[in-house]
Chain A
Amino acid sequence: MTTMTEELKEPNSQAAPTHATPKPQVAAGQAAKSVAGRVKIDVQNYSAWFREKRALYDVSLTMAEKEVTAIIGPSGCGKSTLIRAFNRMHETVAGARSEGRILMEGKDILGPRVDPVEVRRRIGMVFQKPSPFPTMSIFDNVAAGLRLNGMRDRRVLEGKVEWALHKAALWEEVKDGLHKAGAALSGGQQQRLCIARALAVDLDVLLMDEPCSALDPISTAKIEELILELKQNYTIVIVTHNMQQAARVSQRTAFMLNGKLIEYDETGKMFTNPSNKLTEDYITGRFG
């Protein structure tokens, strides 16, 4: 990863964020070291519908904390629907419904007494299209989530904003222009701004729905590097249609097809020796 970034370095970008511990090198093809941590997300027989059309069929899997889990599959396989279930965004669509349970650290987030606003505060999401709020400055964008929760103290806000921008590897590039419009940044910077915005509110889980689809290769590489950094503190779930990306950043990968979970395994094993024929067909490019 480091070599690739060095080769594709943007002329005026700063060096990789200062970091004491060496970044773990994960080369595609090698068995990824899976952090044997506690179960963070436990999906139990989850199904989802958009009105009459069924999108997910009894999906069950568990994700460990501080790991990156990738969800791959062809268009329409339900990977976005699944990830959007984790922060209860699925229900914001008119006519959407679901069955099953999704436990976060043991508690069912789909429970009747659970406030979706609470869930979304603890679980952040980055979307495919980088979407900093158009009328807000960089600072206001990052502070948005904090202000929603009542934080008013300017000094505290400034501290948190700086921390989040550092965490998202964007601080050096914007520190002199925090008052400038968020929309004035480049696509890759906007996406990192959205990541900072999500991180600012003390999350433990970060969901990423095809975060690099709309970005150029250099920005993509930067964000992938960022993901590998972030996983030291956060549980990350990333939906991607790019298998190589899944291989680069994730410890585990889930392969979905037509709303069903086909295979879920350690990334290294999944890409070199998949158990299911469908997985193998997809990975080798026979369809999708």
Chain B
Amino acid sequence: MPDHETSITRRQVLKTAALLAAAPMLGAGQPAAAQAPVKSTKVLDFQTGADVARAEQEGEVVYYSHDGEAGIAALLDGFRKDFPKIKTSYVRAQTGALYAKITAERSANRFVADVLQLSDISPAIDFQKKGGYEQYVSPEHAAYKAAYQSAPGGYFTWAGVTFAGIAYNRSKVKPEQAPKAWKDILSPAYKDGISAKLSTSGMQHMQWYTLRKLYGADFWQEFAKQRPKGFDSRAQLFDRLAKGDDRVCALAEYAGYTLFKEKGAEIDFVAPADGLPATPALIGVVNRAPHPEAAKLFVDWALSNRGQSVYQTQTILLYGSVRNDAPPMATGKKLSDFKLLFPSDWTDFQASHGTFVKEWNALMGL
């Protein structure tokens, strides 16, 4: 090989480093073209575009997630069982704080995360625009409708869906007085005894948006008169409902209900006929991941039936799968058994986030 092809000057190294460092910023706002699916290989019973040998050589995957510690542990345990040579570690925070952390890291050229899962589509789209995701079209995408993937595909995918109805404590609310439709949460009988989530929640944004579309902006103004109590997580909502500290939960996620029902809580779930607001958990490979092959392998695994069965059967997670061939959840029900409410216009939904935060903070007394 001629010398001139291999010799690299210091200037070239510096130039390359500067370009690499600027890559995420340079990518910001640039619409990426759709990418063809990568060459895939079969591992266990799923398809992956990752080089499994290299992934094992990398030996680690770092997962950033909004899920709780126990939920993350369940998911990572499942992955480690299948790939014992790959160690797992994670960072857990609320979606807003998690997003702030990863963007702060990247703006300082620190690349720690391999895989990111968020519970709100607004920051996911924002992260995509900032060039935060690697565009990786997983071979498992074949089992997912285009609606359940980023546009263009390959940035993030719906790893699962959680949805919410109404729940009440049976010892505090008589069955004949129990809410049956969304409008019933406005009943004065529940004043000072009703709970929902805070504006940190993607699920709460979804409920605010979809019910506003159904019943108008007045609906939430009426709800404010109930003096609802706001909390960060479904676990807190159901913990309080089960103990009778609240009589009714206006944002009762099915997953939380199942978990506490299993523990023997005297609570009931109501699925209003108008539908149940639903929101996806969005997973994607992070751009400039320190363990890129392990990251791809993890996402492929998470989107495959193996990973989806963890999402669907671990009651601490209990996300419904949107795979075309998804089996029922641990409760025996499939997503299709419920009437789910999604925005018809995702752009409008994303644009409404600022109004939601302002309105909801005021509603919760913040």
Q: State yes or no: do A and B come from one complex.
A: no
